[in-house]
Amino acid sequence: MKLGFIGTGIITTSVVTGFCESGMENLQIVVSPRNKERAQMLHEKYPEIVSVAADNQEVVDRSDWVFAALLPKAAEDILKPLHIGPEKKFINLVATLSLKRIEEMFGQREILADVVPLTFAANRFGPVVIYPDIPEVVDLMSHVGKPVPVDTPKQIAILRSTTGLMSAYYMLLTVIIQWCERNGLDEPSARAYITEFTGALSRKAATWDGDLEDLAREMTPGGLNWMALTHLEEKDAYTPWTEILGSILEKVIKE
């Protein structure tokens, strides 16, 4: 399998790393020289798999699958001069570039999809949003994460918006761990417990068959969880989360 990446930023680095660590057979990856340091790093780390092209057209010519992983403002200007034949399978990672616009530039093809991987792809876990639900794309991206196919571009925008909560989530963990430290627990122990604890909460939620609100309210009246949830709800602490999600969604759709 021959994969080509136009754009060599953080997401490309993560996805390429994930593919290289996946154990896929007969895998060849060519990356653009746009970020020379990252491109060279990937080649040096995986010399039998990754090579650096002289330019973007060479990336296309040497690949069966073409990944467009460019900054939104520069994407069209970089892609327009390229010849990308209809036999190429095109994976779009550019949030502002629609599949319709790609077809206008390069024509229709059998496989054309929007994909939203995250940096977790380097470790081969985490969600990978895919539109439309094309089995061959789902199979490919399953090597670097858990595919989440959706039915419309709007659904991609909704899920992309939720990724804007990553920093806020990490800050929440930081605040909790720092509280543990202030109360006498060392940072390594606090971090080990809290990260395992929150990971277990997510795993429990993923396997819960019912409504997640029912899970949230499965608590002992007057107990510790009751105290925390009641206090936060009285402070209207969850409203800011949905407010910022709305603002992020507006930005994602506008861009």
Task: Name the domain boundary from 116, 150, 184.
Answer: 150
pLDDT one-digit tens code per residue, 82-123? 999 999 999 999 988 999 999 999 999 999 999 999 999 999
**Does 132 share its domain with 58?**
yes
Give all strands (DSSP E) within 182-239, no chain letters: none
CB 12 within 8 A of CB 34: no
pLDDT one-digit tens code per residue, 154-196? 999 999 999 999 999 999 999 999 999 999 999 999 999 999 9
Residue 166 neighbours by CB under 8 Å, 6+ apart: none
Residue 236 is predicted with a pLDDT of 98
Residue 64 is predicted with a pLDDT of 97
Quick check: 255 pLDDT over 80?
Answer: no
Q: What order of strands is seen across the sheet that includes strand 28-31? A: 50-52, 28-31, 2-6, 65-68, 89-92, 112-116, 127-131, 146-149
Alpha-carbon span 229 to 248, nearest angstrom: 26
Task: Name the domain boundary from 125, 150, 175.
Answer: 150
227 lies in a domain? yes
**Does 43 share its domain with 113?**
yes
98 lies in a domain? yes
**Does 40 share its domain with 62?**
yes
Residue 113 half-sphere exposure toward CB, CA atoms < 13 A: 27
**Does 146 share its domain with 170?**
no
Query: Other CB atoms closer than 10 Å to residue 65's CB: what's the count?
Result: 18
**Does 22 share its domain with 45?**
yes
**Does 110 share its domain with 236?**
no
137 lies in a domain? yes
Q: What percent of the chain has pLDDT over 70?
A: 100
CB 112 within 8 A of CB 90: yes
Task: Name the domain boundary from 150, 178, 197.
Answer: 150
Residue 131 is predicted with a pLDDT of 97
CB 29 within 8 A of CB 1: no
The secondary structure of residue 164, as a DSSP letter, is: G
Place of tokens 């009751």: 226
156 lies in a domain? no
Quick check: 72 pLDDT over 90?
Answer: no
108 lies in a domain? yes
Helix (H, G, I), strand (E, B) or coil at 184: coil
Residue span of the structural domain in which 188 resides: 164-254
Q: What is the mean pLDDT of residues 49-68?
A: 98
**Does 146 share its domain with 169?**
no
CATH number at residue 68: 3.40.50.720
**Does 133 share its domain with 184?**
no
Residue 239 half-sphere exposure toward CB, CA atoms < 13 A: 4
For the chain, give the mean pLDDT. 96
**Does 40 share its domain with 140?**
yes
158 lies in a domain? no
**Does 34 share its domain with 122?**
yes
Question: How far is C-alpha 68 from the geometric centre of its chain's CA atoms?
Answer: 14
The overall longest dimension of the chain from CA atoms, in Å, is 66
**Does 55 share its domain with 169?**
no
**Does 23 share its domain with 122?**
yes
159 lies in a domain? no
Number of folded domains that form the chain: 2
CATH number at residue 181: 1.10.3730.10
Question: How far is C-alpha 99 from the geometric centre of its chain's CA atoms?
Answer: 18
226 lies in a domain? yes
